């Protein structure tokens, strides 16, 4: 059946659901050492907060002792000074020791979530990756991983300790200063939290808009730089600058609104908290005038409120960081939970290839529901045969390779290798049995040796130096590599741009030789090369294809004229099949295509003369 026109929405996460989903990363079942670190960090939080709560009482005693006057009290005052300084030091020491203890927990949780997300991206279908901008996906992972560490820090070491401190300060205020100060503090904190949340929610919406525009600007930049040569061909530098400038300008406007809203938040917070300070200190002074409180009590109240203000002053940033962190984490979880379009059936066995035959049985398929590409296509490639697939553009030639590699599943019909339906065996075993030399051989931005060795499946272990040299010799690229100063250690550049088209194709061939698959797919492997390079590559490909089942997808018919059998596709249907001479004698679509290409070659030849 064709896929739905509108793919199902990925699961939405609220804050609690996201935290619950992240908890196994933070509290891993198989890591007792990390659990002990979390327990130790929380114990240090309690110790630091306990010491912080004692500090204002020590300062109160110092002031009251000094206010009483007289030399005999000097040593008592000094003892309280020592206690005050020691408490400040211990508070800092406990906080930083806590960070040291917890750092490994946060980093490993972040690493494991990022690895799971990255692994999931490689499990998703080709359709997913073709419909998403790579820059946006990588930005989602980057934001998610960066936000986790700061979010955890604020959640565990700011919010939780602040709640404990509020409760403890309420008890101390009630015990030492009476109920009015407790009520005033509670009301002020409630107003503060509500105001902060309202403004921060508004800021979060602005921030989301800013992030979306940032992703758009990044995608424009990446797209433009990846198409650097095309930009130069058409003299479109100014057009690209304007296109990127519009995206960057929209981001700048959103960033300005976001930063201005931060100023409004800070002013509102300062107004509320300083209102409480005014009332609390005024109340204490009035109580002192009535003889109920001492000068030290005024210092204690001021110190407690200052300590309380410090985390509350950050509440807006903390709330926004946690809120944004949850949004960024939820985006990562959406990637992890994205539907896998092509999945192995439960308990699927590995493909076992004894006779590398390939067959399509009444295959119907299309990339979109309203556009069918293959209409009941059936053919068979015998083991060891050299079969070519040709046809006009859009006939479905490259779609056959994608279905064979199981990047997609057919809507109906079956694709068989050695008589086994590839939808009923593991994808890894299917892809291990097939090698490909594509039209555009994209290489990793690494060395020639790394790119050749990449063909060896990890399950079989890394390729040896002898394997790499043998593959390079088989692909006829060894003489070139030996002439290079750095040999196999030569960097090929991004997408292999430091190599010529023919050199890249030879590296791709060598990579396939290292893989040593029983089935070989040549997807228009020489269409982008000049005639001389094409003939050299074709000779190499013919040698490589010997004793393998090969399926050549070609546009230029001259490159496959010696194939054992040629399949001619037309609008997703098998129009003709046979050898080159037989198809020419038939005088059908193949003969028409051959005559047209021969005429074009003669015209180009005369023009060259």
Evaluate whether 471 touches 511 at the Cβ level (below 8 Å). yes
Distance of CA 58 to the CA centre of its chain: 51
> Domain map of the chain by residue range?
15-337, 358-608
pLDDT in tens, 108-125: 777 777 777 777 777 676
Give whole-number Cα distances, 319 to 131, 194, 274, 325, 463, in Å.
Answer: 34, 11, 20, 10, 51
pLDDT in the model for residue 220: 82
Which residues contact residue 324 at a Cβ distance below 8 angstroms, ignoring those fewer than 6 apart?
Answer: 147, 204, 207
Q: Is 491 helix (H, G, I), strand (E, B) or coil?
A: strand
Return the number of other C-beta atoms located less than 10 Å from residue 429's C-beta: 20
pLDDT in tens, 443-486: 888 888 888 888 876 655 677 888 888 888 888 888 888 888 88
Evaluate whether 187 touches 268 at the Cβ level (below 8 Å). no
DSSP 554: -
Rounded Cα distance between 115 and 120, Å, is: 8
Reported residue count of the chain is 609
Q: Residue 284: pLDDT band by 50, 70, 90 thresholds?
A: confident
Sheet holding 434-437, edge to edge: 434-437, 519-523, 549-553, 386-390, 565-570, 573-578
pLDDT in the model for residue 382: 92
Sheet holding 420-421, edge to edge: 374-381, 358-365, 412-417, 420-421
pLDDT in the model for residue 360: 94
DSSP 198: H
Rounded Cα distance between 524 and 573, Å, is: 19
pLDDT of 35 over the 70 cut? yes
Rounded Cα distance between 586 and 220, Å, is: 51
Return the number of other C-beta atoms located less than 10 Å from residue 216's C-beta: 19
pLDDT in the model for residue 417: 93
Q: Residue 352: pLDDT band by 50, 70, 90 thresholds?
A: very high
DSSP 443: -
pLDDT in the model for residue 344: 86
pLDDT in the model for residue 71: 53
Name which CATH class applies to 358-608. alpha beta
Which residues contact residue 443 at a Cβ distance below 8 angstroms, ignoring those fewer than 6 apart?
Answer: 451, 492, 495, 496, 499, 504, 507, 508
Q: What is the mean pLDDT of residues 405-424?
A: 91
> Looking at per-residue confidence, does 261 or 323 come out higher?
261
Query: Positive or negative, the Cα torsion across 77, 82, 83, 84?
Result: positive
pLDDT of 43 over the 60 cut? yes
Which residues contact residue 200 at a Cβ distance below 8 angstroms, ignoring those fewer than 6 apart?
Answer: 265, 316, 319, 320, 323
Q: In which element (H, E) is residue 600 found?
A: helix 589-608
Give whole-number Cα distances, 578 to 134, 148, 587, 591, in Å.
Answer: 42, 61, 12, 12
pLDDT in the model for residue 53: 75
Per residue in 157-175, is it b (16+ CB within 10 Å) or e — as a string?
Answer: bbeebbeebbeebbebbee
Evaluate whether 161 touches 314 at the Cβ level (below 8 Å). no
Rounded Cα distance between 25 and 3, Å, is: 34
pLDDT in the model for residue 52: 77
pLDDT in the model for residue 531: 67
pLDDT in tens, 423-442: 999 988 998 899 888 877 77
Alpha helices, DSSP H only, in 178-236? 179-226, 228-233
DSSP 569: E
pLDDT in the model for residue 394: 79
Q: What percent of the chain has pLDDT over 90?
A: 11
Residue 61: how many CA atoms within 13 Å on its side-chain side?
16
pLDDT of 511 over the 80 cut? yes
At the topology level, CATH places domain 15-337 in: ABC transporter transmembrane region fold (1.20.1560)
DSSP 339: -
Rounded Cα distance between 382 and 11, Å, is: 45
| 69-73, 195-199, 422-426, 506-510: which is most confident | 422-426
Pairing mode, if any, of strands 386-390 and 565-570? parallel
Distance of CA 211 to the CA centre of its chain: 15
- DSSP secondary structure string, 35-50? HHHHHHHHHHHHHHHH
Q: Residue 15: pLDDT band by 50, 70, 90 thresholds?
A: low
End-to-end CA distance of the chain: 54
Evaluate whether 557 touches 588 at the Cβ level (below 8 Å). no
Rounded Cα distance between 109 and 22, Å, is: 9
Q: What is the largest CA-CA distance in the chain?
A: 124
67: left (phi over 0), alpha (psi -120 to 50) or beta: alpha
Rounded Cα distance between 215 and 251, Å, is: 9
Q: Is 480 helix (H, G, I), strand (E, B) or coil?
A: helix
Evaluate whether 559 touches 525 at the Cβ level (below 8 Å). no
Q: Which residues pair with 380 in a beta bridge?
A: 359
DSSP 157: I
Give the range among 171-185, 229-243, 517-531 with minimum mean pLDDT. Answer: 517-531
pLDDT, averaged across the chain: 80
């Amino acid at each position: 059946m064709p896929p739905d026109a509108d793919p199902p929405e990925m699961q939405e996460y609220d804050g609690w659901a996201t935290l619950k989903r992240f908890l196994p990363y933070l509290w891993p079942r198989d890591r007792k050492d990390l659990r002990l670190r979390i327990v130790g960090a929380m114990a240090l939080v309690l110790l630091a907060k306990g010491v912080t709560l004692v500090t204002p009482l020590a300062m109160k005693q110092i002031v009251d002792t000094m206010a009483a006057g007289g030399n005999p009290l000097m040593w008592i005052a000094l003892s309280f000074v020592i206690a005050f300084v020691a408490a400040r030091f211990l508070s800092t020491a406990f906080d930083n020791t806590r960070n040291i203890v917890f750092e490994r927990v946060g980093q490993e949780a972040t690493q494991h979530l990022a690895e799971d997300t990255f692994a999931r991206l490689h499990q998703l279908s080709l359709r997913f990756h073709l419909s998403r901008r790579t820059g946006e996906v990588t930005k989602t992972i980057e934001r998610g991983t960066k936000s986790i560490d700061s979010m955890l820090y604020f959640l565990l070491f700011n919010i939780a300790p602040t709640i404990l401190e509020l409760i403890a300060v309420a008890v101390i205020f009630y015990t030492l200063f009476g109920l009015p100060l407790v009520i005033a503090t509670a009301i002020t904190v409630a107003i503060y939290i509500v105001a902060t949340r309202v403004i921060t929610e508004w800021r979060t919406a602005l921030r989301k808009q800013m992030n979306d525009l940032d992703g758009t600007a990044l995608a424009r930049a990446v797209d433009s730089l990846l198409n650097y040569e095309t930009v130069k061909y058409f003299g479109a530098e100014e057009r690209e600058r304007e296109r990127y400038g519009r995206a960057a300008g929209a981001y700048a406007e959103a960033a300005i609104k976001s930063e201005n809203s931060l100023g409004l938040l800070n002013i509102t917070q300062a107004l509320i908290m300083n209102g409480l300070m005014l009332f609390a200190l005024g109340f204490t002074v009035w109580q002192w005038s009535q003889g109920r409180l001492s000068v030290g009590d005024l210092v204690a109240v001021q110190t407690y409120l200052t300590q309380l203000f410090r985390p509350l002053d950050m509440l807006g940033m903390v709330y926004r960081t946690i809120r944004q962190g949850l949004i960024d984490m939820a985006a990562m979880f959406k990637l992890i939970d994205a539907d896998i379009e092509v999945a192995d059936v439960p308990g699927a066995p590995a493909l076992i290839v004894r006779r590398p035959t390939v067959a399509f049985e009444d295959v119907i398929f299309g990339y979109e529901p309203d556009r069918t590409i293959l209409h009941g296509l059936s053919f068979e490639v015998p083991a060891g045969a050299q079969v070519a697939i040709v046809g006009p553009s859009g006939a479905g030639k490259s779609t056959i390779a994608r279905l064979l590699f199981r990047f997609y599943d057919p809507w109906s019909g079956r694709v068989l290798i050695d008589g086994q339906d590839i939808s009923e065996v593991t994808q890894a075993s299917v892809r291990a049995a097939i090698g490909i030399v594509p039209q555009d051989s994209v290489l990793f931005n690494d060395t020639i040796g790394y790119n050749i060795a990449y063909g060896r499946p990890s399950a079989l272990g890394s390729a040896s130096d002898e394997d790499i040299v043998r593959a390079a010799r088989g692909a006829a690229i060894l003489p070139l590599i030996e002439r290079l100063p750095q040999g196999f250690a030569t960097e090929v550049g991004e997408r292999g741009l430091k190599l010529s088209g023919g050199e890249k194709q030879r590296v791709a061939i060598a990579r396939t030789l290292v893989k040593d698959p029983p089935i070989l797919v040549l997807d228009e492997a020489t269409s982008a090369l000049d005639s001389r390079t094409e003939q050299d590559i074709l000779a190499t490909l013919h040698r490589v294809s010997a004793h393998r089942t090969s399926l050549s997808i070609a546009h230029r018919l001259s490159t496959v004229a010696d194939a054992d059998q040629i399949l001619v596709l037309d609008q997703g249907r098998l129009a003709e099949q046979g050898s080159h001479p037989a198809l020419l004698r038939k005088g059908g679509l193949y003969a028409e295509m051959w005559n047209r290409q021969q005429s074009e070659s003669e015209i180009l030849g005369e023009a060259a003369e």
